[in-house]
Structures are given as C-alpha cells and as structure tokens.
Amino acid sequence: MSRIKVLHVVPTFNDCSITRIVQNIIEHLGTEEYDWVVVGPEPAEMADVYEKLGAKAQLYSFDASVGHNRSKMDQAKALKGYITEHNSDIVHTHTPTTTILTWLATGLKPGFKRMYTKHLLTNPGDRKWGWIYTLVDRISLYQTELLVPVSKTMSQLLLNYPGLNSKNMQPVQNAINHNYFYAPEEREACRAEFGLAPDQVLFGFAGRLEKMKRLDLMLEGFVDVHKKHPEARLLIAGVGSLEQELKDYATNLGVSEGVIWAGWRSDIPRLLAAFDVYVQSSVNEGLSLSLLEAMAATKVAVGTDVGGIHEIIEDHKTGIIIPPYDIKALANAMNEMIENPDLRLQIGQTAREFVDKHFSVARMTSDYDRLYHQLVNK
C-alpha cells in the first residue's frame, strides 16, 4: 500500500499549540505509512523540527527570491503549487485563514480531501474587528470534507449549525506528551532565577498577552491575594499586544511588586516546575493545552468554565474550575491554594494521573490515524 500524502497548512512556524499538535502527529505516526509536508508563512524554529522528523517544510508567504512576503493571491498560488507538487491525498488545515487560503488555492473540486482541525471557535469579543474574524471563522467551517473539533463540547455546539453533522465532523480531543512537561528537578534552579524563597507560593501563566486571555481579570483577582498573602507571587510569561497595558494596569492596581513579567520563554517544563498553581482566566478556549501541560507537571490548574475546559478539570479533583469573569471566585481559588497546601499537592498528583490516562498523545494520534485512513478511502 502506498503512503498517504498529508500536507499540513499552519499559520506559523513558531512554537505554539498548533505547531506542537502537528509535531506530535508527525512524530507518532511516522514516515512508514505517511509522507508529510508542512507549509507555513515564514521561517521559524518549528520548520527545522519537522524536517528532522522526516517531513518537508515549505513557505507559502515569504518569497526568498525577492526577500519579502507574497500577496494573498500569490500565497494561494504558491500553496497550490506545493499541493500539486506533493500530489497530496489530504490537506490538513488548522485555522480559518489557512482553510480559506486552501479553498482559494484549489477551488470547489480540488482533487484531494480536506481536513480542518478546529482549535477555537472565534467570538466577536475576542479581539479588535471581532465580528469580521467571526464571520471568516464561520465561513471556514464549510470549506472542508472533515471538520475535527478539539473538544466534545465544541463538537456538540457545532452540530447545531446547518449542514454540519456526524458524517462530516468528528472530534479529537487535544493531548500532550505528559512526560515532557514533568521536570521537578528544575524547580529549585528556576525559582532561584526569579529570587523566590522555597516557601513562597508562585502562581503562573504562560501564553499570549492578548484580549481573549483576559489577564486583566487575573490581575484583578490577584489584588485580594496580594493583600492577604503579600509574599505570594504571580509570574506571567509571554508577549503580545497588551504587554505594556497590562504592566501599567498592575501598577495601577497596586500589585506590581507581586507580579513577575518573564517575557517570552521556550523552557515551559522548567517554568511549570517552578509554579505551584497555574492560572488561566480566558473567556474563550477550545481545549487548553496549557492547562493539560500544567496538570502533567503536577500543578493545580485553575481555569474558567469556557469551551472544553470542564472536560479536563473536575472541580477540586483534577483542578479548580471557576465561572468566567468572576474575579471573586478567582481570588478565592488562589487564596485556597495558598492556605491548603495538602489539597494543592493532592489535586496536582490526581491531575497528572488523569492526563496520563485520558489525554495521551498516543490516543490523539491514533484518532488522527483512523481519520486519515477513513478520509482517503472515502
């Protein structure tokens, strides 16, 4: 039997949740039954990762011959060229823009099958010009033969959309390499880097500093924590358009002395080892890899009840789940984790066991293997 030729179209070659999912798929399914190409906009570190795994990495946006990005139509032409050259059986997209770009490149009858992993269902309030992004997001749902939501919750929601059903939509829950994120031996050194004493409780977040993450709510929740437990610290790792605005807000709230701004970090397992509690105050999620990573590191994950978060957090068993926008509930959860260290350790250990059992990369990639074969044989 010939190898199945799969071409992934990713929005970036930077290290992020989508590119790590693609990495896991390629690494675990291997090259014996599959021939992989990953097409992204501009060169970055994950392109080399894919090449080392036996995939071919190509650029659809950046034109090395002229030293700048192509126009949208030229991007579509470049993408069509890669698909034709590779003689792809399946083109697997991961965002609304890459899905629509693929449609522009290949038309209504492309000669291959399309799969679209839906990582997030955009809401109008997520960002500036949110209504436009939401419209594009909804249109993209219909530009594929198989839609793959990353949570059961999203799948149930999408079943209410006209034309979407279990024949053209099958969920695959996100998963992680849980052992990769468990690095307790790094705890002491990482905490020393930030000047933390062994008994100081450290809350942490790692991700984009953008509107939908609602880090302003996290800072507001930390106000009460800072008053009751001034020795506690909140570490925020990441960059984004709201970075300076959030720093100024922390100062205005009077908590700047308790907040550590770590910037962009690539050493996430090391950071997680330093944390005691991972906090996420998002108002929109698919199925959060960040929370799964924290749980795999035996940390209590405090998350808002949005998207598929309740699929991974059972309150006070595998983490703490709170209503979105509820600053008081967030502060109470953080204070409780300071004041009850035994519960903190118990939840953290249960969380790791839960992730190991239910959210393994082996399970996720087995699901994708099944869907690839199912789609190519249609």
pLDDT of residue 359: 96
Residue whose entry in the numeric block shows the structure tokens 């709510």 = 217
pLDDT above 90 covers a percentage of the chain that reads 84
Longest dimension (CA), the chain: 66
Cα separation, 80 vs 74, in Å, equals: 10
3-state secondary structure of 19: helix
State pLDDT tens for residues 245-256. Answer: 999 999 999 999
Mean pLDDT across 292-311: 97
User: Residue 62: is its pLDDT beyond 70?
Assistant: no
pLDDT above 70 covers a percentage of the chain that reads 97
**Fold topology of 184-358:** Rossmann fold (3.40.50)
In this prediction, residue 67 has a pLDDT band, given cuts at 50, 70 and 90, of low
Bridge partners, residue 35, by sequence: 5
pLDDT of residue 109: 67
Cα separation, 116 vs 243, in Å, equals: 31
User: Residue 324: is its pLDDT beyond 80?
Assistant: yes
User: Residue 42: is its pLDDT beyond 90?
Assistant: no
Residue whose entry in the numeric block shows the structure tokens 């993209």 = 140
pLDDT of residue 107: 76
For the chain, the average pLDDT equals 94
CATH H-level superfamily of 4-175+360-376: Glycogen Phosphorylase B; (3.40.50.2000)
Cα separation, 184 vs 170, in Å, equals: 36
Question: Where would I find the beta strands (DSSP E) of the chain?
Answer: 4-9, 34-40, 56-59, 62-63, 68-69, 90-93, 113-118, 146-149, 202-206, 233-237, 259-263, 277-280, 300-304, 320-322
Q: Where are the domains of the chain?
A: 4-175+360-376, 184-358
User: Residue 70: is its pLDDT beyond 80?
Assistant: no
Task: Take residue 329 and report the two structure tokens written for it.
Answer: 């509930």
128: CB partners within 8 A, 6+ apart: 211
User: Residue 68: is its pLDDT beyond 80?
Assistant: no
pLDDT of residue 60: 86
Mean pLDDT across 167-186: 95
The DSSP letter of residue 266 is S
Angle at the Cα of 304 (from 302 to 307), degrees rounded to 5?
125
Residue whose entry in the numeric block shows the structure tokens 């703490």 = 320
pLDDT of residue 169: 96
Cα separation, 17 vs 150, in Å, equals: 12
| CB 102 within 8 Å of CB 114 | yes
Whether 4-175+360-376 shares its CATH topology with 184-358 is answered: yes
pLDDT of residue 138: 94
State pLDDT tens for residues 186-237. Answer: 999 999 999 999 999 999 999 999 999 999 999 999 999 999 999 999 999 9
DSSP string, 52-76: HTT-EEEESSEETTTTEEPPHHHHH
Residue whose entry in the numeric block shows the structure tokens 């991972």 = 278
Mean pLDDT across 23-27: 98
